[in-house]
Structures are given as C-alpha cells and as structure tokens.
Structure 1
Amino acid sequence: MEPIVVLSLLSGLILLLLLIGAPVKSLKMIGTGAIRLLVGALLLFFLNTFGGLFDYHLPINLFTASVSGFLGVPGIIALIFTDILIIQ
C-alpha cells in the first residue's frame, strides 16, 4: 500500500479513538500504542528533514518508530548514536 494511504488509515483510526473513546482497557492500550508509533514516525520525519541539511538520514520503519515513539527524544538520540557509532 502507498504510505499516504497507511498514514491516512492510522490517522483516521486515531481520530476515531479520540472522538469516541475506547471503553475497553485493551483498546485504550492499542490506541495509545498507535498514537506513540505515529508520533515516533513524525519525529523521525522531522529528524530526516532537518538531517537532510547535514546529509544524514535515519530510516523510518516499525522498529525506529517504536523506539522514538515510546522513548521520545532519548530514544532518537540512542538511534542516532547507534547509527553513527555501530552501523557506519
């Protein structure tokens, strides 16, 4: 599927969960996880946009979006250090 379709579906699901609410605790956990994944992907997108000025790119995939979404800025810093020190 196209990335725009996937992002649209995830955004629609998040909007639906925010408007209606999830009465079941497990659905709340899934919704929170989906929101964190989306926020992590957006953080990586902005990192790649800003990193393009310095010729730096960090791939956006499920693992990197999970790390950056659940750990926040320290997770992004850990991903950058891992990429620079270990992979390159």
Structure 2
Amino acid sequence: MDPVITVSIVVGLVLILLLVGAPLKPVRWLGKGVIKVLIGALMLFLLNTIGTSFNIHIPINVITTFVSGFLGVPGLAALIIIKYAILP
C-alpha cells in the first residue's frame, strides 16, 4: 500500500476520533494495563540484574511480564518459586 494512502487513513481516523470523541473508560483501562506491563518488565529486569549474584534468572517474555506486572511482588515471588521449586 502506498505510504501516502496509509498516512491519509491514519490522519482521517484521528480526525474522526477528535470530532466524535473516544470513549474514555476503555482508553483509561488500556493505559493502566500498558503501565502495569511496563512496570512488570522493569521489575523482572531489576530482579535479573540483582539476582545474578544469587544465581536467579527469570526470562523476560510476555507471560512473565504480565504475571509480574498485574500481580506485583507476590507474582514475582511466585515466578521464582515456580522456576526453582516446581520446574526441574
């Protein structure tokens, strides 16, 4: 597809949303979810950085990021227990 057409479609959709208005509740819900996922990825990164001296490493992927982001520190602890106590 031609880039001009793609940009025109995106600009048109943005203008329609600005004129009509986007429903605020789903946008707010989506924003909170994205922030939680980013915080989960940051927590995993910090755990892997600090945990190198304790031989702790949890891979950063979609599932572990969602678990640590939405469950917080208990989710991070659960990931560590699952990794080292349940999995061989």
**TM-score, normalized by the shorter chain, greater than 0.5:** yes
Give structure 2 stretches of 5+ with no counterpart.
Answer: 1-21
Show the 5 A alignment for 1:1-88.
Answer: 24-88=24-88
Give structure 1 stretches of 5+ with no counterpart.
Answer: 1-21
Q: CA deviation at 1:30?
A: 0.7
TM-score, normalised to structure 2, is 0.71
Q: Distance in 2 between matches of 1:80 and 1:23?
A: 39
CA deviation string 1:21-80 (max 9, x = no partner):
x86110111100000000000000000001111222100011111111111100000000
Give, as a single letter, the amino acid of the residue that structure 2 aligns with 1:50.
I
Q: Distance in 1 between matches of 2:81 and 2:48?
A: 15
TM-score, normalised to structure 1, is 0.71
Give, as a single letter, the amino acid of the residue that structure 1 aligns with 2:76.
I
Q: Distance in 2 between matches of 1:23 and 1:31?
A: 13
Moved over 2 A (4+): none
Give, as a single letter, the amino acid of the residue that structure 2 aligns with 1:87.
L
Q: Distance in 2 between matches of 1:84 and 1:69?
A: 20
Q: Distance in 2 between matches of 1:50 and 1:71?
A: 20
Give, as a single letter, the amino acid of the residue that structure 1 aligns with 2:39.
V
Q: Distance in 2 between matches of 1:62 and 1:24?
A: 26
